[in-house]
Amino acid sequence: MNQSQRGRLLALCFAGALSAGCSTVERRADAIVGTPFQNGGLSTKSRELLQTVEAMKGTAPQNVVQDAKNQLALDFSSVVAQCKESLDSNDSKLQRSNNWALGASIVGLIAGIGGSALSAQASVSKSTIAALSGIAGGTNSLQNQLKQSGYDPVEYAKRSTTIREAILTKTKEFQEGDLERQQAAMRDLVATCVAYS
């Protein structure tokens, strides 16, 4: 196999590996139905207890109000656990997208260095040098395509940060609030986790 054929084979292998990797972008499943996010985080039992408290318009016995608070706390815990699953999923995607970005950078760097080094040798064919230079030059386009295809590490880092901050903020609001504020904190946390999962 001569230098020209090796250069073409290298370029073909590189393009095939990239197209195979780029086609595996995951589609996001529905993040609400069948999860604690459904119905704003409220379980059927919580809805029933809250309806009872509301129907009594401030005259509900303390034990009924406490039962509602206890059930809301269980629901909130389920929502936080689901948010942590979203966070773990984002962190996993962040790691994978970092690996893709690093891999593309390394391939571009090696191709650029290889093309430069080989251009100094008279025995190397121009097509090999052109192939390596093309790979090195195409790395930026590849990285932009990876970002547009859902492999943007910056986006996943932002999502994870937003979810973490929401968990901290809404947990504090939930702990300090009455029944209405607790429900609002839970709805807000559900909205954030669904939007950024």
Which pLDDT band, with edges at 50, 70 and 90, does 140 fall under? low
Which pLDDT band, with edges at 50, 70 and 90, does 26 fall under? very low
Q: Is residue 64 part of a domain?
A: yes
Which pLDDT band, with edges at 50, 70 and 90, does 133 fall under? low
Question: Is pLDDT of 168 > 80?
Answer: yes
What percent of the chain shows pLDDT beyond 90? 28
Report pLDDT for 89: 85
Domain with 114 in it: 41-196
Q: Is residue 22 part of a domain?
A: no
Q: Is residue 33 part of a domain?
A: no
How many domains does the chain fold into? 1
Q: Which stretch, 60-64, 133-137, 186-190, has highest mean pLDDT? A: 186-190
Q: Is residue 98 part of a domain?
A: yes
Q: Is residue 65 part of a domain?
A: yes
Q: Is residue 25 part of a domain?
A: no
Mean pLDDT across the stretch 21-50? 72
Q: Is residue 168 part of a domain?
A: yes
Report pLDDT for 107: 72
Question: Is pLDDT of 61 > 70?
Answer: yes
Rounded to the nearest angstrom, the gap between the alpha carbon of residue 193 and the centroid of all alpha carbons in its chain is 11
Question: Is pLDDT of 91 > 60?
Answer: yes
Q: Is residue 94 part of a domain?
A: yes
